[in-house]
Amino acid sequence: MTHTTYLGFPRIGRRRELKRALEKYWHDGDAASLLDTARTLRQRHWQLAKAAGIGSIPVNDFSLYDHVLDTAVLFDAVPDRYRSLLRNDPLAGYFAMARGNRDLHALEMTKWFDTNYHYIVPELHAGQRFRLTANKPLAEWLEARGLGVDARPVLLGPVSFLRLSKTVDDSDALNLLDALIPAYIELLEQLAQAGVTWVQLDEPCLVQDLDEVTKHAYTTAYSTLAIGPTPKRLLATYFGGLGDNLALATSLPVDGLHIDLVRAPEQLDAVLAELPKHCVLSAGVIDGRNIWRSHPSHVTPLLEKIVASRSHELAWIAPSCSLLHVPIDAAQETSLPADLLSWLSFAQQKLEEIRYYADALNGDEKANAFLVKQTALLSARTQAHGIHRNDVRARVNALSPQATQRRSNLAHRRRVQADALSLPPLPTTTIGSFPQTDTLRHARAEHRAERIDNQTYETVLREEIERAIRFQERIGLDVLVHGEPERNDMVEYFGEQLEGFAFTRQGWVQSYGSRCVKPPIIWGDVSRPKPMTVQWSRYAQSLTDKPVKGMLTGPVTVLQWSFVRDDLPRDQVCLQLALALRDEVHDLEKADIHVIQIDEPALREGLPIRHADHAAYLDWAVRCFRITAGGTRDATQIHTHMCYSEFNDIIEAVAALDADVISIESSRSRMELLQAFEDFHYPGSIGPGVYDIHSPRVPSKEEMVDLLERALTVLEPGQLWVNPDCGLKTRGWKETEPALTAMVNAAQSLRAAL
């Protein structure tokens, strides 16, 4: 019998029960009810996998907040500041690490590889000690056993754990390996003693570019763990191919290896050749990162190859990675078109698919019939209306190199724009959104529920815009914005108006802790039936003589924050988006909007895991941005915005965007990032954010003057813009008004000194 498994399941619950329970606990401190919900969810998910016929079920994939944080707590890698709280009230201590409390700031959070999931970064230091504390993996294994499930505890492997951690003293976290390994040994020993047969050791870092020190760490760690007593070890790799780490991974003394055959199907032959004969191969053949049903014509040949070269017992079938990155159940989507729904596979459907593939391999007729039907559905998909639109494809194919060009170069444009806009030196602006008030949220909800009509809703929006314009004029900002009151979300707003997009009701995916996102689905060819933002920008401009900045989300960001169709390369989908947005840019220009911002906060996070793939990605990402902005008049000033502060490795690409002005987050790094721009002789204008919009604190004029003076040591005065770090939609007017007033005053007093 071919074995079936998966590496992890979404934790949040089909109705985001965990989110609600967490928020309730943070509000009322009722731990029992939180733990009760958590247990119910875990058990429900095991039962569900069991009912789907999955042979080997993981435990300890569940977490109240984050599995990397769980690992740090498991091995007592806890910074001193949390210790006493953690001892007195373990839950309160845990959440203080995750999100801070009145007295303690939280640990850092960062993106989990190239996903939209964020993990808590453990904080280590040279000489750090580790010890096994309350054994959560064992507790969850016992809990599952109580339900008759013989489960496989999931652990983050020691090398990935250290590589994903940071040190506060700049020491190399890998130096701590010798200190850490005994704690892992003890853990494995306890699990073995309890009767655990398999554990899963996640080492996603094996798909990254690794230096010799890390490779050596892998060899040391895994040969030490093998000495035992220990359950059998499944080494799990995902998010890409092993590449040049293949020999290393297959040489480690483990009992099974999981590989990602969705992102890297080409690695199968080499893995089959190198993997020791007694080793289990867990084949990640179902996409754990996307929501489409798998193609039997892609999957079956891979599986047949595997069972031709090793026995069925040594072949496991699984999704490519944990199912954490997809929603739970497509059957909850009652309002999607039936054909689209039939192409979708969320976590629950993926488990079913796994089961059918395994059964089909064993000659089961029902399973074969299922796969035949799936093949038919997917071939219907290729023919479905909207999947392949000749007009959209023809436009993409007809794109000439000219389409990526502005009419003149940056230096020339700068002169033309200076005349056309006549802005003062150190011009002030904001990033786009203004506070989303209760009135606004209420009106949007009422409008969605069709309790108020379009006209009433639009009146509310117009009033918000007018208020924003009057406010900006009053405090003396130079380039105004309309404030984005019509947008719930910067991607959803555009997706809802573009063809080729669909939206789910319950398609939530955990972003971090209790925070979930509901990415739109790009299922068909993308086009823009009509202008999306023009009426709002035009209305705002009609209220003032100051320039109003049009506001768009860029093509790369829309792509990055959506579930993207798997039947067309991503760069092609992005080109379609770029053309749709280009039409919007040109319509804004025609409506006399002379400043247009195209936000690309997700440009950097699209970077592939391997450095060798960066250039190709950046190449098409930059091309798409340039197509969006291409062809505009010299007098039209194109802005872009990015909200992160690491630019060193992408500065060339950022410059290649050829934007006239870029605004970036930088207040928290105290303008340090500007060095990258100076070293590169960045030619455009830059607005390094002068205050952190994530905090309700109102910054003083003096501290902003100080930041701007720092910026002026690196940038030419003619290059510098003055703006906050990011949009203000999560802030209240109460702090926004004094903060922006102080910002304008800071710019004015520096101007006087120029």
Q: How far is CA 456 from CA 443, 450, 451, 460, 467, in A?
A: 9, 11, 10, 7, 17
- Indicate which single residue of 551, 575, 577, 720 sits in contact with ligand GLN (rule: CB under 6 A): 551
432 binds, among ligand GLN, Zn ion, none (CB under 5 to 8 A by kind): ligand GLN
- Judged by CB under 6 A, the stretch of 149-157, 175-183, 220-228, 430-438 that binds ligand GLN is 430-438
Task: State which H helix or E strand residue 639 sits in.
Answer: strand 637-642
Q: Which does 205 bind (CB under 5 to 8 A by kind): Zn ion, ligand GLN, none?
A: none
With tokens 């796969």, the residue in question is 371
Query: Quick count: other Cβ atoms within 10 Å of Cβ 337?
Result: 12
Whole-angstrom distance, CA of residue 390 vs CA of residue 396: 10
Residue written as token pair 């993409």: 396
CB of 606 to Zn ion, least distance (A): 15
Pick 272 or 516: Cβ nearer ligand GLN: 516
136 binds ligand GLN (CB under 6 A): no
Q: Measured between alpha carbons, how far is 115 from 606 in angstroms, rounded to an integer?
A: 9
> Could you tell me which stretch among 338-346, 429-437, 438-446, 606-614 binds ligand GLN (CB under 6 A)?
429-437
Taking the least distance from each CB to ligand GLN, the nearer of 156 and 726 is 726
Q: Which does 551 bind (CB under 5 to 8 A by kind): Zn ion, ligand GLN, none?
A: ligand GLN
Residue closest to 95 by CA, chosen among 112, 79, 82: 82
Residue 509: CB minimum distance to Zn ion, A: 21
Contact call for residue 643 and ligand GLN (CB under 6 A): yes
Pick 576 or 663: Cβ nearer Zn ion: 663
Quote the CA–CA distance of 328 and 12 in Å, as a whole number. 9
Q: List binding-site positions for 5-methyltetrahydropteroyltri-L-glutamate.
A: 16-19, 111, 515-516, 561, 605
Displacement of CA 736 from its chain's centroid (Å): 28
d(CA 464, CA 458): 10
Asked if 357 and 326 touch (Cβ cutoff 8 Å), the reply is no
Specify burial of residue 754 (Cβ count, 10 A radius: 0-12, 13-18, 19+).
exposed
Distance, first Cα to last Cα, the chain? 78
719: nearest Cα among 318, 420, 418, 405: 418
Residue 527: strand pairing partners? 499
Pairing of strands 595-599, 563-564: unpaired
Of the candidates 643, 661, 676, 707, which one interacts with Zn ion according to CB under 5 A?
A: 643
Contacts of 214 (CB under 8 A, 6+ apart): 159, 163, 174, 205
Distance in Å, CB of 752 to ligand GLN, minimum: 29
C-alpha–C-alpha distance, residues 16 and 29, integer Å = 19
Residue 8 contacts which entry, ligand GLN, Zn ion, none (Cβ below 5-8 A, type-dependent): none
Determine the interface stretch with Zn ion among 544-552, 629-637, 642-650, 714-722 (rule: CB under 5 A): 642-650
Q: How far is the CB of 63 from Zn ion (least distance, A)?
A: 28
Indicate the residue among 720 and 726 with the shorter CB distance to ligand GLN: 726
**Of the two residues 143 and 489, which places its CB atom closer to ligand GLN in the complex?**
489
- Which residues line the annotated binding site for L-methionine? 431-433, 484, 599
User: Minimum CB separation from Zn ion for residue 561, in Å?
Assistant: 13
Choice between 214 and 723, CB closer to Zn ion:
723
Query: Which lies closer to ligand GLN via its Cβ, residue 167 or residue 663?
Result: 663
Angle formed by the axes of helices 296-309 and 347-361, to 10°?
Answer: 50
* Residue whose pair of structure tokens reads 């319950």 in the numeric block: 506
Q: Which stretch binds ligand GLN (CB under 6 A): 42-50, 269-277, 567-575, 726-734?
A: 726-734
Whether the CB-CB separation of 101 and 92 falls below 8 Å is answered with yes
Q: Which of 729, 739, 743, 745 binds ligand GLN (CB under 6 A)?
A: 729
Which of ligand GLN, Zn ion, none has residue 486 at its interface (CB below 5 to 8 Å by kind)? Answer: none
Backbone angles phi, psi at 168, to 5 degrees: -85, -10
In the 8-state DSSP scheme, what is residue 700? P
Judged by CB under 5 A, the chain residues 710 through 739 that form the site for Zn ion are 726
Identified catalytic residue from 312, 388, 447, 694 = 694
137 versus 727: smaller Cβ distance to ligand GLN: 727
The token pair at 16 is 């985001």
Counting residues that bind ligand GLN (by CB under 6 A) gives 13
Residues marked as binding? 16-19, 111, 431-433, 484, 515-516, 561, 599, 605, 641, 643, 665, 726
Interface with ligand GLN, residue 468, by CB under 6 A? no
Shortest reach from residue 656's CB to ligand GLN, in Å: 20
The residue among 610, 66, 55, 115 whose CA lies nearest residue 321 is 115
Give the whole-angstrom CA distance, residue 494 versus residue 111: 25
- Of these, 233, 263, 604, 641, which contacts ligand GLN (CB under 6 A)? 641
**How near is the Cβ of 726 to ligand GLN at its closest, in Å?**
5
User: Which residues ranging from 562 to 601 are in contact with ligand GLN (CB under 6 A)?
Assistant: 599, 601
729 binds, among ligand GLN, Zn ion, none (CB under 5 to 8 A by kind): ligand GLN
Phi, psi dihedrals of residue 549, rounded to the nearest 5°: -90, 120
Piece in contact with ligand GLN (CB under 6 A), picked from 248-256, 277-285, 725-733, 741-749: 725-733
Q: Does 86 bind Zn ion (CB under 5 A)?
A: no
Q: Are strands 123-124 and 3-4 parallel, antiparallel or unpaired?
A: unpaired
Q: How far apart are alpha carbons 298 and 628 in whole angstroms?
A: 35
Q: Which stretch binds Zn ion (CB under 5 A): 38-46, 477-485, 618-626, 635-643?
A: 635-643
Cβ atoms of 728 and 435 closer than 8 Å: yes
Which CB, 406 or 487, lies closer to ligand GLN?
487
C-beta of 469 vs 643, nearer to Zn ion: 643
Euclidean distance between CA atoms 737 and 721, whole angstroms: 19
Helices (H), ranges, 175-295? 177-194, 212-225, 246-251, 268-274
Say if CB 642 and CB 600 are below 8 A apart: yes
Of the candidate residues 433, 562, 628, 667, the single one contacting ligand GLN (CB under 6 A): 433
Name the closest residue to ligand GLN (Cβ). 727
638 sits near ligand GLN (criterion: CB under 6 A): no
Taking each continuous run of H as one helix and of E as one strand, the counts in the chain are 28, 23
In the range 551-610, which residues lie near Zn ion by CB under 5 A? 601
694 is catalytic: yes
Positive or negative torsion for Cα 315, 317, 320, 322: negative
Q: Which of 164, 490, 509, 621 binds ligand GLN (CB under 6 A)?
A: 490
3-state class (DSSP) for residue 315: strand
Span interacting with ligand GLN, options 367-375, 626-634, 699-707, 723-731, rule CB under 6 A: 723-731
Catalytic residues: 694
- Where does this chain bind ligand GLN (CB under 6 A)? 431-433, 484, 490, 551, 599, 601, 641, 643, 726-727, 729
- Where does this chain bind Zn ion (CB under 5 A)? 601, 643, 726
